[in-house]
Amino acid sequence: MKLFQGIRTPCIGVCSTGIGDSVCRGCKRFDHEVIQWNAYSHQQKFAIDTRLASLLSSVVAWRLAVFDTDRLERQLQLQQIHYEKSRDAYCWLFELLRAGASQIDDPQDYGFSKLAMFENHSLNDIRRDIDAEYYALSIAHYERYIVANRKRANCISVET
């Protein structure tokens, strides 16, 4: 019998929704998702977590390649870095970079490599670029699906 496993909050303790951001600069959730998280069902939390993981994974994969997930996972465990086992290795890699990109001398030792066009970039710069693009994609998603739907709903209610 498999026990129900809850979805942990994506919060990383750097919330910017309290200062008026519609998308949190820390966890990249939308303001209403941050506020309502504890009231959400497992399915709602899963949908949010899936969206965040998908965006992050794609942004990381545009810059870095994971070639040995076992090695990456061993390093995360050795360094005692929290990672969500249910997410893919590119999300794990971002957790590693967030915890200590400047301490990684040879990415090969951690089971990943830089893609050719990022060979001359430091891992700190790559981590900052990933975070900035992840945030930009989260804002674009918010504007496309939340703001646009609110505008459509307002137009429909005004017409009726």
Q: What is the 3-state secondary structure (H, E, C) of the chain?
A: CCCCCCCCCCCCCCCCHHHCCCECCCCCCEHHHHHHHHHCCHHHHHHHHHHHHHHHHHHHHCCEEECCHHHHHHHHHHCCCCCCCCCCHHHHHHHHHHHHHHHCCCHHHHCEEECHHHCCCCHHHHHHHHHHHHHHHHHHHHHHHHHHHHHHHHHHHHHC
Amino acid, single-letter form, for residue 115:
L
pTM: 0.87
Instruction: Note the pLDDT of residue 28.
Output: 95
Distance between alpha carbon 137 and the CA centroid of its chain, in Å?
10
pLDDT digit string (tens) for the chain, length 160 residues: 344 467 888 888 888 888 888 999 999 999 999 999 999 999 999 999 999 999 999 999 999 999 999 999 999 999 999 999 999 999 999 999 999 999 999 999 999 999 999 999 999 999 999 999 999 999 999 998 888 767 766 666 555 5
Instruction: Note the pLDDT of residue 22.
Output: 92
Instruction: Note the pLDDT of residue 2.
Output: 42
Q: Which positions ≥6 away from 102 have C-beta within 8 Å?
A: 122, 123, 124
